Amino acid sequence: MTIGARARRPRLAAAVAAVLLSACAHASPPPGGPNVIGYIDMQQLVQKHPLYDQLEKYDLTIEAFDLRATVPQATASDADLRKREAELEHELHAAATRTQQLLDQKQQQYQQQEQAAIAAALRGAGFGGPTAAQIAGSVTQTAQAQQAGAAAQMQHDYASYRTTLQSQDRAQLVAAQKALSGKAAREYSAQAEQLQAKESALSLQLANADAPTRLALRTKLSSLALDDAARDDAQKQLADLDKKEADQVAAMRNRDEQTLAALQTQLRGQIQQELNTQASSISKRSLTSLAQRQRQLAQQIAPFSGPSVGKGDTSGGSLPAPLRARIAQLHTDYQQRFQSDAKTTIADFQKTREDLSRRYAALHGVAGAAAGGAQEQIATLRRKRDDLYDQITGQIDREVKLIAQQRGISVVLSDVVAPAGGVDLTPDALKDIESLHQ
């Protein structure tokens, strides 16, 4: 059977055992003896311990984290992440296509206007026919091809740079969160341990102080000759004693829990604040780097953008110098008009891309930090849970030792598979553990 299945079973075991054992609770206690072996159901006793609620809270929280951070869940997150990435990529691609279509339309429109103006100028100077269109159109095709290639390269470089940055950001964010969580966990544990030690010391101190009285009362109660009134009185004294100790420990525990809760809130706030600051700083730095890279790439691509008629155009070589100057002037004018018009469209696209980049970075940063954080939390919770479990079983062990001593039983085992002939000390231990609640 797998570990997971095993881990859940003792709960059921104890539940079933509790029901079945209750039927036998009033049976006469089996005799003890120096060579008799006893046994206890540790799981059942743990469930009756006053600190079990706290232990169960740990179990519930761990279970919740496990449900969120199980491997299948991690895969689901990963698939979810990929889906959201794809959506963002799709949005970016759609924005780029829209922008390119707009630019193409504008380019075509300005080219036609430029060609018409050049053709009119040529006709005015006595040069008719297809030559005018050839002069205006031939170089534009080359420019378009160069522009398309450069734009594709720019897009590729930009995407690659963005991926690298995001990977670095994620690593930095996870490392930051790990360091902050570790620091907070250490601070919390130190405080919790200190308070726990004080609680244990108080509990022990009270138990030791009352031990002779308690033993005397129990001995009195085990006497068959005791009349009802005296028995009631002894039981009341014992109950009062238990209550007095439990009240003192509970009061201290309540104060400690409040202290710890306040500390936890404070630490969480600190972590979140510091993490937000670091995440914001990392994100800002990355976005600045991305914008810088985008500007560099835009500058590299600038010579290819917009319609262009080369100055050394051979097809216009036979034209008179003033006409060539006029054509060049027309081209410059239309190029400036197109670039001015295109600038708004490109700015819109850049804004969209920046927004998508920001969302992309956030998506990766948050996912990475969340996954790392969950594992860290589970490990911390398990350690605390184990510490608490050890404290509980330690106290049960002490109670059982007292009972064994009273019953004269030399050996007591816990968690046996089948007790074929031993003495079950669980009911006696249960009474003692339950009295801690009072």
Partner 1 sequence: MEHITRGRLAALVFALGTAVLGTTAVGATDVTGIGTLDQTILGSIPAFQTANRQLQQYGASLQKQYLGRAQHASQSDQAKLAQEFQAKMADKQRQLVAPLMRKAQVAVASVASSKNLTVVLDKRMVVVGGTDITTNVRDLLTGIGDPVPPVSTPPPSSVGFVDQQAIDATPKVKSASDDFLSFKNQQDKAFSDKLKAAHTDADRDAVLKEYRKTLDDRQNTTLKPVIDQTRSAISDVAKQKGLVLVVDRADIIYGGTDITNDVTAKLK
* Residues making contact with partner 1 (CB under 8 A): 1-2, 4-17, 20-21, 23-24, 27-28, 30-31, 33, 35-44, 60, 63-64, 67-68, 70-76, 78, 393, 397, 400-401, 404, 409-424, 426
Nearer Cβ to partner 1 (284/401) = 401
CB of 345 to partner 1, least distance (A): 39
CB of 389 to partner 1, least distance (A): 8
Q: 423 pairs with which residues across the strands?
A: 38
CB of 268 to partner 1, least distance (A): 14
Whether residue 139 contacts residue 310, with contact meaning beta carbons closer than 8 Å, is answered with: yes
CB of 200 to partner 1, least distance (A): 19
Nearer Cβ to partner 1 (325/413) = 413
Nearer Cβ to partner 1 (132/374) = 374
Q: Could you give the maximum distance between any two Cα atoms of the chain, in Å?
A: 141
d(CA 392, CA 46): 7
Nearer Cβ to partner 1 (225/418) = 418
Nearer Cβ to partner 1 (4/312) = 4
CB of 423 to partner 1, least distance (A): 5
CB of 144 to partner 1, least distance (A): 41
Nearer Cβ to partner 1 (310/419) = 419
Q: How many CB atoms lie within 10 A of CB 136?
A: 27
CB of 34 to partner 1, least distance (A): 9
C-alpha dist (Å) from residue 349 to 88, 101, 241, 354 = 14, 12, 78, 9
CB of 1 to partner 1, least distance (A): 4
Whether residue 353 contacts residue 95, with contact meaning beta carbons closer than 8 Å, is answered with: yes
What burial class does residue 103 get, using C-beta atoms within 10 Å of its C-beta: 0-12 exposed, 13-18 middle, 19+ buried?
buried
Q: How many CB atoms lie within 10 A of CB 351?
A: 11
CB of 118 to partner 1, least distance (A): 58
Nearer Cβ to partner 1 (75/280) = 75
DSSP H or E stretch at residue 423:
strand 423-424
Nearer Cβ to partner 1 (63/87) = 63
CA angle 238, 240, 246 (to 5 degrees): 105
d(CA 396, CA 406): 15
Residue 411, SS3 per DSSP:
strand
CA angle 352, 353, 357 (to 5 degrees): 120
Closest-CA residue to 409 (of 422, 426, 427, 421): 422
Nearer Cβ to partner 1 (24/225) = 24
Nearer Cβ to partner 1 (41/169) = 41
Q: From start to end of 280-334, where are the E strands?
A: none
CB of 429 to partner 1, least distance (A): 9
For 220, list phi and psi in degrees, rounded to 5.
Answer: -60, -45
Sequence letter at residue 133:
A
Question: Residues, the chain, total?
Answer: 438
Per-residue HEC secondary structure of 236-264 comes to HHHHHHHHHHHHHHHHHHHHHHHHHHHHH
